[in-house]
Structure 1
């Protein structure tokens, strides 16, 4: 089993940690156990998933979820595209959801890594080298995130980076459900360009994590962004479980 203090030290240093938990009969047991051991409190259902418009969608309105949500609908050998960088909880304000935990029940036949981007560390470099770009990224109108799930479009606008209770936090996301505010001009354009360059695979701030069966990934969702890479299911589907929390991990 894992050492709690070593896990906390790794999370504080890099914003994430991978460790072995082991095989379990209850796929959600690792999430509940880790939450209890690290003082995370109750698992959180983000505002978007808790909305009435999604209450009938499988897996959207529960605190502990399966990835993919519909395991029975997965075809053997089917391929799944990759994601763009994001932080979990699309509509929540900066720093609201501090922790995400993934547990691997079964990996993909091929692919399926999680790329972690140490966004706040990258932003600190931008602050030092291009303060005007950093200021634009922290503007309250810098980044709009919106949902394409359900019939009603929901959205949330805020800074990509900022301080919450004295801690530098991020809601950096850069995909099909995000829009950067062009009205902020070349400063923001430079900042976004720098972040895209710094988040490129193999860069100093980006790490690839491919979970094996029984392994966990804890992410400081308010400090780092992440994305799933493309993968191919085996005869049985790739299967992860996930929970989100509004607290940061702390040692008992």
Structure 2
């Protein structure tokens, strides 16, 4: 890349970040999709500028799964999100039949940290018990989260859905210190919150959303404000308000 081209990319990125920052301060609803390779039908790309222009301030991006899967679009989406000014959350899809520490290490290696500009904390996507009984799955989850927090320096987010937590995790309340991203598509005013959590941080409200710039149906999520100012939580510069907890 030439010096001129690099300067152009940096200028575009800075403009996107500053534009996003102005909108975040005034936004009443902080929303965003979560995406994986499924949102690249036929190998097509996502237009992250269109996503941002439609009012979505963040996106959750699948990074890894188990011990040997890396989303082939992770790097390109990460870079394009940065340039467009879309805050990036990244998640690992848990395979509890495999040891947690190497999975955490794979995830942390691929995402190269979650402490940069426009970065949300790491997410553990927990929706498959792999046949483990609750006590073993609870232990697996503690070990994974402890490892990821040590590697990224931020307290991770847990993604799950109510029925899974109530059954596979025996509705344990051992994880209430972690932010909760809950999937609940029943159309209620608030999602069902399992496991003794006092509140939710992100709510996946639908799996059939329609967002400009993304081909096909996509999950849509909303931020509750539980971790404080979104600008602080997502490491957005010049947000003009206090940092949320991490």
> TM-score normalized by structure 2?
0.28
Relative to its length, the structure with more helix (as a share) is 2
Relative to its length, the structure with more strand (as a share) is 1
